[in-house]
């Protein structure tokens, strides 16, 4: 509605016509994460200014957040995390299809059961990989952010990000696929300052984005960068303050 509508799903931003065409029909809007600005944006675009608003806590006490330097030891550290949760399910998020394939191959060489997943795979193959992971026949799924929408596997023990997400809202959602059974789970971000340049360049050179959209996306990205570079404040506090 708010973010995608600005970038590449213009129809999302025009859904307000439904309330005009069917004024007496109830409308329910749901989101897993929304800053105050996004909340205002969604209410305005849907034309539901007189709505009732319900908010539950964003705090997930069982999730342990950490940021590690993205350096020479990253592969070794990723293997250590997977082995720490031997026999348990995990997700590794990568920036590109090529990265997904490389990381999956690396983990399998280390005798860690893994498979890659991204949007361009054939639907039958994606469905097969997803079912194998849901049934613990594959333990680690290495994916782009194409994986995760609608996934509700309760016993994911770790979520690793090999690079930053494009916003803190996205990171909260992606990492939040861990520990839905309420048991302890880890959310690890590998960060290096140069990663933000890739996202900045993509945002600035996106021919489908308006100036307003680029400004919005840049602010979102910079909050994610601050999360990665924060040295002193508790990262849970940082997330919760950002989400209001």
Tell me whether residue 145 is in a domain. Answer: yes
Q: Do 42 and 80 fall within a single domain?
A: no
> Contact, 174 vs 93, CB < 8 A?
yes
Say what the pLDDT of residue 215 is: 82
First-to-last C-alpha distance (Å) of the chain: 19
Say what the pLDDT of residue 70 is: 93
Tell me whether residue 229 is in a domain. Answer: no
Domain count, the chain: 2
Backbone angles phi, psi at 68, to 5 degrees: -120, 150
Q: What span, in angstroms and rounded, lies between the C-alpha atoms of 59 and 52?
A: 22
Domain that includes residue 32, residue range: 3-46
Asked if residue 6 has pLDDT above 70, the reply is: no
Q: Do 103 and 157 fall within a single domain?
A: yes
Q: Do 70 and 179 fall within a single domain?
A: yes
Say what the pLDDT of residue 75 is: 95
> Mean pLDDT for the chain?
88
Confidence of residue 226 (pLDDT cuts 50, 70, 90): very high
Summarize pLDDT for 71-84 with one digit per residue, the tens. 999 999 999 999 99
Asked if residue 171 has pLDDT above 80, the reply is: yes
Asked if residue 98 has pLDDT above 90, the reply is: yes
| CATH number assigned to the domain comprising residue 126 | 3.40.50.300
- The predicted model gives 45-69 an average pLDDT of 92
Buried b (16+ CB within 10 A) or exposed e, 141-171: bbbbbebbeeeebeebbbbbbbbbbbbbbbb
Q: Do 125 and 67 fall within a single domain?
A: yes
Q: What percent of the chain has pLDDT over 90?
A: 59
- The predicted model gives 46-66 an average pLDDT of 91
Buried b (16+ CB within 10 A) or exposed e, 89-125: bbbbbbbebebbeebbeebeeeebebbbbbeebeeee
């Amino acid at each position: 509605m708010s973010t995608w509508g600005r970038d590449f799903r213009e129809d999302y931003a025009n859904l307000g016509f439904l309330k005009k065409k069917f004024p007496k029909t109830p409308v329910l809007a749901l989101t897993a994460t929304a800053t105050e600005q996004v909340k205002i944006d969604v209410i305005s675009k849907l034309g539901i200014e007189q709505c009732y608003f319900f908010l539950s806590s964003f705090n997930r006490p069982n999730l342990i957040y950490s940021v590690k330097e993205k350096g020479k030891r990253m592969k070794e550290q990723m293997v250590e995390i997977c082995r720490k949760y031997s026999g348990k399910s995990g997700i590794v998020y990568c920036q590109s299809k090529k990265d997904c394939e490389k990381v999956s191959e690396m983990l399998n060489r280390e005798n860690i059961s893994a498979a890659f997943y991204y949007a361009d795979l054939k639907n039958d193959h994606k469905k097969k990989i997803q079912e194998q992971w849901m049934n613990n026949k594959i333990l680690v799924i290495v994916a782009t952010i194409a994986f995760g929408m609608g996934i509700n596997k309760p016993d994911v023990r770790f979520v690793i990000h090999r690079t930053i997400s494009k916003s803190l809202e996205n990171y909260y959602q992606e990492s939040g696929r861990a520990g839905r059974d309420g048991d302890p789970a880890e959310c690890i971000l590998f960060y290096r300052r140069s990663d933000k340049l890739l996202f900045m360049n993509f945002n600035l050179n996106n021919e489908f984005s308006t100036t307003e959209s680029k400004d919005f996306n840049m602010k979102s990205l910079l909050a994610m960068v601050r999360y990665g570079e924060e040295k002193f404040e508790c990262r849970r506090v940082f997330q919760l303050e950002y989400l209001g």
